[in-house]
Amino acid sequence: MTTGASTSATATSPTSPGSVSTPSTILRTVDLTKDFRGFTAVNAVSLDVAEGTIHALVGPNGAGKTTLFNLLTGFLTPTSGQILLRGDDISGRQPEEIAHLGVARSFQITSLFEQMTLLEHLELALASPTGLGYKFWTSRKSLGRFKQRGMELLAEVGLADRSGVTAGSLAYGQKRALEISLALANDPALLLLDEPTAGMGLEDVDRTIALVKKASVGRTVVFVDHNMHVVGSLADQVTVLQSGEVLAEGTYDDVRNDERVITAYLGESGGEHG
């Protein structure tokens, strides 16, 4: 079922969900499959993500990368297969539950609260795990306790001076940065970024690479990007998807020299357009 070089324990009985493959595996999928009315977007994908690494997911358009993200974060329910987070089966859980387990994501298509200020975005993100959001009887001022941390986070992505403007008035690149800072807010153990550099100019791309690098300290990052420069600079491990299946896996250098990957994805120029 699984094509390509799986690195670790995919061979050992993938059917027993409870079994933790290696101590350092934080995220693992077992034969994960998603059907859309007869079209299989993700097909029996078994994936291991080692704790503390940066893992890139690449592949042609429509390979199923975003769908895989949506499965991992609960926005879609798998047709079959399992998703194990530190050995616990989380398939079928709701997005908000998964978020509380320390998984944060950014969206391929920018997804913000257009009418809220940047600081308000971060306050919301920071308040989420505290349950403060349910308190309809207290004053909104109680959110103020997140202000300092919120400003720090904004500063990290270079948006500190814009904390008071509404997200709707940001330029595209800034919106992407805000997406990332939201994902980072609650210090997630696992960070999922869907095309963090899409639509950015070169300078912004490099800034984002640096940002992700910095953010990856002490946590695991899985990201999707078509920009090979980004993949090359960041990824410890690369999984190539094609037509919903794993085509190849390995380090960036392994993968970029893989014949199948070159035909299916990179093309003869080796992806050097970006």
Partner 1 sequence: MAERLLTVDTLSAFHGEAQVLRDVSIDVSVGEVVTLVGRNGAGKTTLLRSIMGLHKNTRGSIALDGTTLDGKSADKRARLGIGWVPDDRGIYATLTVEENLSLPPVVDKDASWSLDRIYEQFPVLRERRDFPGTKLSGGEQQMLAMARPLRAGSRLLLLDEPSEGLAPVIVSQIGQIIRDIRSQGVAVLLVEQNVKFASTVADRHNLLAQGEVVESLDNDAFQSRTTELLQHLGM
Partner 2 sequence: MSAQLTETTHVETAASSAPDRRLNPFVRAGLLLLALLVVLALPWYIYPPVAMDIVAWGLFAISIDLLLGFTGLLSFGHAAFWGTSAYVTGLIAIRSGLPFPVAILGGAVVAMLIAVPTGYLAVRRTGIYFAMVTLAFAQMIFFIANQARDLTGGENGLQGIPKSFFGIETVETDPFYFYYAALPLILLGAFIAWRTVSSPFGRVLLAIRDNPARARALGYDVERYKIMVFVISAGIAGLAGGVFSVSHGFASLQELVWQTSGKVVLITVLGGIGTLWGGPLGAAVVVLLEDYLASSGFNGIGIITGSIFVLIVLLFRKGIWGTVADLVARIRSRGRTPGRRDA
Q: Which is nearer to partner 1, 33 or 186 (CB)?
A: 33
The partner residues of 240 in beta bridges, in order of sequence, read: 58, 248
- How far apart CA 16 and CA 18 sit, in angstroms, is 6
Q: Which of residues 66-95 bind ligand ATP (CB under 6 A)?
A: 66-67
134 three-state secondary structure = helix
Instruction: Single out the segment in contact with Mg ion by CB under 5 A; choices: 58-66, 125-133, 182-190, 200-208.
Output: 58-66
- How far apart CA 12 and CA 25 sit, in angstroms, is 14
CB 31, min distance to ligand ATP, A? 17
Q: Which is nearer to ligand ATP, 29 or 186 (CB)?
A: 29
Number of amino acids touching ligand ATP (CB under 6 A): 13
75 binds partner 2 (CB under 8 A): yes
152 binds partner 2 (CB under 8 A): no
Q: Which of residues 148-177 bind ligand ATP (CB under 6 A)?
A: 172
Taking CA atoms, 149 is separated from 130, 142, 204, in Å, by 14, 14, 24
Element (H, E) at 104: strand 103-105
Give, as one character, the DSSP assignment of residue 93: -
Q: Contacting partner 1 (CB under 8 A), which of 138, 172, 253, 257?
A: 172
Residue 257 touches which member of ligand ATP, partner 2, Mg ion, none, C-beta under 5-8 Å by kind: none
Q: Contacting partner 1 (CB under 8 A), which of 108, 117, 216, 233?
A: 108
196 binds partner 1 (CB under 8 A): no
Number of amino acids touching partner 2 (CB under 8 A): 43
206 three-state secondary structure = helix
- How far apart CA 250 and CA 56 sit, in angstroms, is 10
Q: Which of residues 95-124 bind partner 2 (CB under 8 A)?
A: 95-97, 99-100, 104-105, 107, 109-116, 120, 123-124
Q: Which of residues 40-59 bind ligand ATP (CB under 6 A)?
A: 41, 59
Q: Which two tokens stand for residue 199?
A: 């639509």
- How far apart CA 249 and CA 262 sit, in angstroms, is 13
Q: Which is nearer to partner 2, 6 or 75 (CB)?
A: 75
Q: Which two tokens stand for residue 75?
A: 């926005």
73 binds Mg ion (CB under 5 A): no
CB 181, min distance to ligand ATP, A? 20
CB 233, min distance to Mg ion, A? 20
Site string for partner 1, 49-78 (x = CB under 8 A): ---------xxxxxxxxx------------
| HEC per residue, 136-202 | CCCCHHHHHHHHHHHHHHHHHCCCHHHCCCEHHHCCHHHHHHHHHHHHHCCCCCEEEEECCCCCCCH
Taking CA atoms, 64 is separated from 23, 32, 114, 127, in Å, by 28, 11, 28, 32
Instruction: Single out the segment in contact with Mg ion by CB under 5 A; choices: 61-69, 95-103, 200-208, 247-255.
Output: 61-69
Q: Which two tokens stand for residue 29?
A: 């999928």
Binding site for partner 1 (CB under 8 A): 36, 39, 58-66, 108-109, 171-173, 195, 198-204, 226, 228, 263-274
